[in-house]
Each structure stands twice: as C-alpha cells, then as structure tokens.
Amino acid sequence: MAETLLEVKDLKMYFPVTRGIVIQRKVADVKAVDGVSFTIKRGETLGLVGESGCGKSTTGRAILQLYRPTAGSVKFDGKELTTMKGEELRRQRRRMQMIFQDPYASLNPRMTVGSIIAEPLEIHKISSGKEKQERVQELLRLVGLNPYFAQRYPHEFSGGQRQRIGIARALAVNPDFIVCDEPISALDVSIQAQIVNLLQDLQQELKLTYLFIAHDLSMVRHISDRVAVMYLGKIVELTDYKTLYDEPKHPYTQALLSAVPIPDPAIEEKRQRIILQGDVPSPLNPPAGCRFHTRCPRVMDVCRHVEPEWKNVGTADREHWVACHLYD
C-alpha cells in the first residue's frame, strides 16, 4: 500500500467576528472548520464534498497554510507544517499548489499568460531567462494549449482554456500535491469532462496527489479514490468511493446522494428522495450534539446533546469512518 503523503489531525480553523470601530473586540468565532482528521496517500485523490459554506475551501487553505490553523496538526511528507516558518515553510509550500474555482477571477488580467505561468518560477527562484521561457512552453503543451498563447492575455480565452492556464501555473513548480478547489464548477458541461480528463492524465503522468473539492457528487465519485463528506465544519463520513455510494451510513450522506438528479427519466420516475427540511444552520452558532440533528430525518434524543464519535465501522482493509449515533 502507498505511503501517506498528508496527515490532517483535528484541524480547526476559526475566524474571529469583531465589533467596534476603534477598539476591535472579538464577539464570536465562525467555526469554519472544527476538528477534521484524514489522511491522503501518495498518488491518491481524496474527494471532499458538502454544501456551500460547510468549510471545504477553508480546509484546503488551512492545509496549505494559506490560513494558519487555529488548532490541530497538518503533516506533509512527515513534516509538521503548522509550526513551520520562513524559508522552510516556503520550500514545503512549493510542493503544494492550488487550483481555483473561478478561472476568471484567479488570473491577473494585466499579465500575459506566459508571465502568469512563469511567476511561481520566479518567486521560488527556479529558473529564469531562456530556460524559463522553455518551461512555460512545455507547460502550455502539457495542459493542451498552443505554446504561442504565452503572448496573449487571459480575456482572450474561454473558461475552459483559462482553467488550463491555472493548471499550468500550479504545475510550474513541480508540486506533489494539489488542492483542486471546485476546478470545474464554473465551466460548461461539455468542457468539464475535458478538464477532468486532463487532471486525471496529469495525475498519472506526474504522480500527483489531489484533494478534490466539489459539490457535484457525481463528478467527485467519478474522480476520487476515497470521499469525505463535510457538514458544518466537520467530516461526517469518509470511505472509498464505492462503499460511500453503495452503502452510505450517515443520514446526511444518504440525503445528499438522494438529492443528486440522474439524467435518466426512467430512474427519476421511480426515485424516492429524502427531502431535508430547512437550511444549514450558521457556523457562528452550530447546534449542540450532532450538528446535523436539526435536519436529520432519523434524529434521536441523544443526538441533541452528545456529539457522536468519529470511528471506523468498516474493516481494517476497507475503512468506513462515520460520526453518527446510529452506529454507537
């Protein structure tokens, strides 16, 4: 079995909510990520799904130390990142990159495509001059773009092409690990498949490890080896893609899966949906006990008071982690 590349333990990321103009006073915390643990093996894709605001992007950013976590540990290739500083952290960061959702907002409109891709090479002092130019051309080819696009500006490209530029930039420094934060959500259906195939090819070719964030469950299932389901700052279930979809254990996962429309009218006619009541509560003041209890169709009394334990209900070689009192 492959070695562990990333180990996240009890990671917390709180954002202070302040009041007052002259003297800022902290009045509360947004508990965006509130104790999540998982590992990712080298060469693996871990999918992270959940509804808007549940803390997926924050998890990704806290792993990369773009936010300094409030608590918990992030070990990358055996080294603890949360206490690392300065040059040492910069060297590790080079091995971890991020691809963003919005191919429009994430590229500087005043820079040529070539300089956008070359920027990380300069920041990390990897190459310059002719060598740098050659690397840019090579990267453009790698992501399926014409090398002569280097002279052009982002607005001259379609969404899918801009996403390819973002991927080329992330690959410039030869990373081991990439956080893909909803890389296809803003793209047309027919273009999404192009980008997903590209990400899969690059993973094979360059032995990349992915954390793939999305709220499209069908796509996450397609691309991931294992999938983690997040709700209001916590991971509620984590297992291999097949087990998760065939035997979901957490009532939230079950509801989420049942809500995904399937492009087949014969199946849709027969489907029984689990319709959740109400909206996701605010992370400023999450419900006591199990955070899902306010919407859970199978809520029990204990769920309102006691937080369920995160445990493996599968076997040693087919792990199935879940946090739910139904499996106490």
Partner 1 sequence: MATLLEVKGLETKFFTHEGVVHAVTDVSYKLDEGETLGIVGESGSGKSVSVLSLIRLIPQPPGKITGGEVWFDGRDLLKVSDEEIRQVRGNRIAMIFQDPMTSLNPVLTIGQQITEALELHLGMDKRQARARAVELLEMVGIPDAATRLDDYPHQFSGGMRQRVMIAMGLSCNPQILIADEPTTALDVTIQAQIIDLVKELREKVGMAIIWITHDLGVVAGLANRVIVMYGGRIVEEARVHDLYHRPYHPYTLGLLHSVPRLDAAHTGRLIPIDGLPPDLIDMPPGCPFAPRCTFKIERCDVENPPLEYVSSTRRVACWRWEEMAARQDGGFRG
Query: Which one of partner 1, ligand ATP, Mg ion, none interacts with residue 30, CB within 5 to 8 A by kind?
Result: ligand ATP
Please identify, using beta-carbon distances, which residue of 114 and 292 lies nearer to ligand ATP.
292
Task: Report the C-alpha gap between 26 and 41 in whole angstroms.
Answer: 38
| 235 neighbors 278 (Cβ within 8 angstroms) | no
Instruction: Pick out residues in 214-233 that bind partner 1 (CB under 8 A).
Output: 215, 217-219, 221-222
Beta pairing class for 45-49 and 226-231:
parallel
**Distance of closest approach, residue 1 Cβ to partner 1, in angstroms:** 20
The dihedrals phi and psi of 323, each to the nearest 5 degrees, come to -120, 95
Choice between 99 and 116, CB closer to ligand ATP: 99
When the beta carbons of 42 and 215 are compared against ligand ATP, the nearer one is 215
Residues 30-69, mask of contacts with partner 1 (x by CB under 8 A): ---------------------xx-----------------
The reply on whether position 13 binds partner 1 by CB under 8 A is no
Which CB atom, from 61 or from 226, has the smaller least distance to ligand ATP?
61
- The rounded distance, in Å, linking the Cα atoms of 246 and 264 is 19
> Which of 3, 263, 272, 316 is in the footprint of partner 1 by CB under 8 A?
263
> What residues are paired with 46 via a beta bridge?
211, 226
C-alpha distance from residue 62 to each of 8, 27, 213 (Å): 10, 22, 14
What are the backbone angles phi and psi of residue 196, rounded to the nearest 5°? -60, -45
Closest CA to 66 of 35, 41, 36, 100: 100
Angle between helix axes 189-206 and 159-171 (nearest 10 degrees) is 20
Q: Binding partner of residue 123 among ligand ATP, partner 1, Mg ion, none, CB under 5 to 8 Å per kind?
A: none
Query: Given the rule CB under 8 A, which residues bind partner 1?
Result: 51-52, 158, 160, 188-194, 196-197, 200, 215, 217-219, 221-222, 241-242, 245, 255-269, 271, 273, 275-276, 278-280
Query: Given the rule CB under 5 A, which residues bind Mg ion?
Result: 57
